[in-house]
Structure 1
Amino acid sequence: MIPARMPLSTLLLPPGIDRSASILLAARSLRGLCDGFIAVLLPAYLLSLGFGQLTVGLISTATLVGSALATIAVGLLGNRYPQRALLLVAASLMAATGLGFASLSSLWPLLVVAFAGTLNPSSGDVSLFLPLEHTRLAEAANSDSRTALFARYSLAGALSAACGALLAGVPDWMAVHSGIPALAAVRAMFVLYALTGCVICMLYLRLPKRESHAATARAPLGPSRGIVTRLALLFSVDAFAGGLLVNSLLTLWLIQRFGLSLGAAGRFFFWAGLLSAASQLAAAPLARRIGLLNTMVFTHIPSSVCLIAAAFTHSLPLTLALLLLRSALSQLDVPTRSAYVMAVVTPPERPAAASFTAVPRSLAAAVAPTIAGALLGAGWLGAPLIACGALKIVYDLALLVSFRRIRPDGGSS
């Protein structure tokens, strides 16, 4: 029988993990909730302001470029400054981003806020929070528990993003039942985004202070430089492919091709998020059985095939079924990829490794939404899906060939 006073963190976290990790899981859940409704609302918000499909892509590109530059700064400074202080800065920036989007209507000010802020138009986490939280997570777990912890972290993000997608229907509900103009209701959701940033800031204040590795590592990267470079290059291919179909653009694609409403799109992303979350529960046991690398590759390829097939279907139910199947498979590589990076570098290199593998991903992904937006605006609706799926298959095969002989500290590849 579980003791009545056993801390909740003990129930949520496996053995061998520091309880402070529960704070990071809570923060990730709150951010995922916001990312879920922002990704669905962003294209509709921009269209309601009078912008076109290309602008949706430009805003998405600005957010990803800004995230990449912020992540570079984290990689260079993360081993010199307290991580908790950097996390507090990131949370404060999140609050400012929400207020900026809630109050601005012109293109250039919105581009500036998108570039400098923390908005996330994709299904994954591409913000400066990522390397900071990954480093703290890696420090909170031993090698045997690391994959399980990263799986819980990804699960928290996926579940909360799924619930957040349902909230995308709130503005329509408010417009119908309370008489509030639809545009004002959408702006209110950005205010909610800002308030969530304030709550996350209070959560980070509860993290214990830790010394940086500056005393033990003069350079951000040392013996693992070659491995990190190769991983970063390959991850950039995957990120560019994913950037062609971030959630905001997939929402736009569903609206254009099938006339889906915001509420229906939100429900789709809810179920897609639930499937992604459920699949990540299998990541840790599957990785223990077949290895981290094999889990990353052999679950990713079938999801890409489903995406390519969805581009050629003309039936909405069949298209949604293929996209849901893709969601059930595509995120199994997320916790295993994070755990793999943390496992193949030395502990002092982890902040830099997390940043330098994330930066090319953000930069590569930043270019793609503008290209995809232009393709959608030109009427080539299936092109982003086909290109995304094909490039991801190339990435998976290259990753397998390049790293099949490199074993992480946990002993499984």
Structure 2
Amino acid sequence: MACEGVPASSSSCLSIESTDEFLPRRSKFVQFLHEIGLLTLLKAPYDVRILLIQHTARSFAFGTSTLITLYLSALGFPDHIIGLFMTATLIGDLVISSVLSLFADTLGRRKILMVACASMCLSGLIFVLSDNIYVLFCSSIIGIISPSGKEVGPFRTIEESTVAHLTPDSMRSDVYSWYALFGRVGMALGTVFCGSLVEALHDREGWSNVGAYRVIYLVYSLMALFMFVASYYLSEECELESFRKRVRGADDAISLLLEDVEEPQEVAPDDTLIAEEVVASKPRTTRIAEYLPTLSAHSRQLLLILLPLFFLDSFGAGLSGNGWLSYYFSRKFHVKEGSLGSILFSANVIAVGAALVAASISKRIGLVQTMLLTHIPSAILLGLIPTAGNFQIAVLLFVIRAGTHEMDQAPRQAFVSSIVLKEERTTIMAIVGVVRTLSISTGPIVTGMLAEQGQMWISFELATAVKVLYDIGILLLFLRMKLESH
């Protein structure tokens, strides 16, 4: 069995010999490792491991920016300006990530990742050196700054597409689960590092709130620099052209086998084919249109179904990101930065374990069922947080929600990558990412306006409503879909 047209001997693909038939003879511990997908991860190619390391470092950096709302408040920005700032940041990310992602397959995925890392590093340095609102606005729009501690930029789109063509369908969910887990670990460490360092610097004589937060963005820039180096060491196997060459090689091998069985027949030359070969042999021009990807009718129809659903889910995420939840706890319960960092760290640690559970569940009940089973409780728990009468209950609800909040992430990634055409994955994921970012960017404005009026709880209830609508749509449209590997 080959990996999407790749010979089984190819070093760029996971070894996909099934381990299931050997598991009964092995220990319970080995079966457990298989269940959580660790055996799959150990077989992952070199490039997948680098992508996981890079994802962890980036999540750490984004985790340090979770308290950006408090930083902007320390600079003297009013709540509605903070909401506008976060929206402007997301819109800038929308433009940057969409442009870079759409050209990733033609210009080179590694090059695009390095450009994005450089932009992220530069943005962090500007946040260190300036407190001018206009400069920060421009930096957040042009560069890459996470306004809520969550994933922004073209990184995830390119990485998910690369992982998809380096791994077979049957093992992709496991790899995506560990991808999500590594991200959660990085984010957890980033949040607790940020909260603890800011509070420690507050307690030191001579350090202001603004100065403490600037140290955080210096760390942000250093992590971006590390990611730049990691992207440089990715191999050619990550590129789409490398995947196409492997597929063509497999097809040529099959053709040689067929020649031994059947005598070749003379075929009259086809003028159309000759014309296509002549066009293909011409040197490529520098016109931008030639670098833009195209979509099949199948993909266009699929996007018409998926995009409205993802728009709803992302709009809810924009209304209730961790940055706003931190701000809510700080305002309502007067929680210090160190405690907020510890709360977010605990939530992310729970999410790490939940990601492994999601991988196991998806093997048993399917990807779509896992998405629904985990996402609906998360939405309901979000709506219950504003109803909590005291800080302890609110934190308990927040932490429990963290256990299910992103359990649907890996199954959703595997689901989308399984239903799109292989050579259109990056483009499809880029378009989905653009729509999700555009939807998320509208949420902070609403939450900022409500926060200024002391009605932030309404944004959480609205987020719950739109997320439940998303779940209903997934339930009605995709529940009965059967995937080849599930």
Q: TM-score, normalised by structure 2?
A: 0.79
Counterpart-to-counterpart distance in 2, 1:407 and 1:72: 30
Q: Which residue identity does 1:89 align to in structure 2?
A: V
- How far does residue 385 in structure 1 lie from its aligned partner after superposition? 1.1
Q: Quote how far apart the aligned CAs of 1:341 are.
A: 1.0
Q: Is the CA contact 2:94–2:434 (under 8 Å) kept in the aligned structure 1?
A: yes
**Residue in 2 that maps onto 1:326:** 401
Q: Report if the CA contact (8 A) 1:13-1:19 is conserved.
A: no
* Distance (Å, rounded) in 2 between the aligned partners of 1:281 and 1:215: 29
2:294 aligned residue (203, 216, 220): 220
The Cα of 1:204 is off from its aligned counterpart by 0.7
- Give the CA deviation at 1:373: 0.8
Q: Is the 8 A contact 1:97 1:119 kept in 2?
A: yes
Partner residue, 2:389: 314
Larger Rg: 2
1:73/1:406 CA distance change after superposition, 3 Å:
farther
Q: Does 1:305 align with 2:332?
A: no
Are 2:236 and 2:242, in contact at CA under 8 Å, matched by a contact in 1?
Answer: no
Structure 2 match to 1:124: 150
Aligned to 1:376: 451
The answer to which of 49-58 and 15-24 deviates more is 15-24
* Alpha-carbon distance, 1:108 to partner: 1.7
Q: 1:352 and 2:427 equivalent?
A: yes
Partner residue, 2:64 = 37
1:32–1:215: structure 2 CA closer, same or farther, 3 Å change rule? closer
Contact 1:344–1:409 (8 Å) recurs in 2: no
SS, match of residue 240 in structure 2: coil
Partner of 2:105: 79
Aligned residues: 402
- Change in Cα spacing, 1:346 to 1:409, as seen in structure 2 (3 Å) is farther
Q: Does the Cα contact within 8 Å between 1:232 and 1:358 map onto a contact in 2?
A: no
State the shift of 1:224 in Å: 2.2
Residue in 1 aligned with 2:233? 206
Post-superposition offset of 1:14: 2.6
Change in 2 beyond 3 A, CA 1:85/1:254: same
Instruction: Supply the distance in 2 between the matched residues of 1:156 and 1:18 (Cα, whole angstroms).
Output: 16
Match of 1:402 in 2: 477
**Aligned residue among 55, 60, 74 for 1:48:** 74
More moved, 213-222 vs 45-54: 213-222
Shift of 1:332: 0.6
Change beyond 3 A, Cα 1:48–1:281: same
Which residue matches 2:115?
Answer: 89
1:253 to 328, 342, 356: 328
Offset at residue 177 of structure 1 (A): 3.4
Residue 231 of structure 1: how far off its partner (Å)? 1.3
Contact 1:13-1:22 at 8 Å conserved across structures:
no
CA–CA separation in structure 1 for the residues paired with 2:475 and 2:93: 28
What's the counterpart of residue 237 of structure 1?
312
Which shows bigger deviation, 238-247 or 73-82?
Answer: 73-82
Q: Give the Cα–Cα distance (whole angstroms) in 1 for the partners of residues 465 and 375 of structure 2.
A: 11
Contact 2:40–2:171 (CA<8 Å) still a contact in 1? no
1:395 deviates by: 0.6
Aligned to 1:90, the other structure's residue is in SS state helix
1: CA distance, partners of 2:336 / 2:351: 22
AA of the residue aligned to 2:62? D
Correspondences of 1:8-157 after superposition (within 5 Å): 14=41, 17-40=44-67, 42-157=68-183
Please name the residue that 1:362 is paired with.
Answer: 437
* Contact persistence 1:74–1:352 (CA under 8 A): no
2:140 and 2:411 mapped to 1: Cα distance? Answer: 29
**What CA distance in whole angstroms lies between the structure 2 residues aligned with 1:118 and 1:197?**
10
What pairs with 1:183-198 in structure 2 (closer than 5 Å)? 183-198=210-225
Q: Distance in 1 between matches of 2:243 and 2:223?
A: 35
Distance 1:214 1:281 in 2: 31
- CA distance, structure 2, for counterparts of residue 215 and residue 21 of structure 1: 15
Q: Structure 1 counterpart of 2:96, which letter?
A: A
Q: Which structure 2 residue ranges, 5 or more long, are not aligned?
A: 1-26, 28-36, 245-290
Residues 123 and 326 of structure 1, relative CA distance in 2, 3 Å threshold: farther
Q: 1:143 to 1:161 in 2, by over 3 A?
A: same
2:50 alignment partner AA: I
- Of the structure 1 ranges 114-123 and 341-350, higher mean CA displacement relative to structure 2 is found in 114-123
1:215–1:13 CA distance, 2 compared to 1 (3 A): closer
Q: C-alpha offsets along residues 179-201 of structure 1, whole Å, 9 cap, x if unaligned?
A: 43332121111111111111110
Tell me how far apart the structure 1 counterparts of residues 47 and 417 of structure 2 sit (CA, whole Å): 18
Give the letter for the 1:237 counterpart.
Answer: L
**Deviation of the 1:249 alpha carbon:** 1.1
Structure 1 counterpart of 2:477, which letter? S
Offset of residue 316 of structure 1? 0.8
SS in 2 for 1:311: helix
Aligned-pair identity (%): 26
Is contact 2:293–2:427 with CA below 8 Å preserved after alignment?
A: no
The amino acid that maps onto 2:463 is C
2 CA distance for matches of 1:100 and 1:293? 42
CA distance in 2, matches of 1:88, 1:19: 18
What is the one-letter code of the residue matched to 1:136? T
Choose the corresponding residue for 2:197, options 167, 170, 174.
170
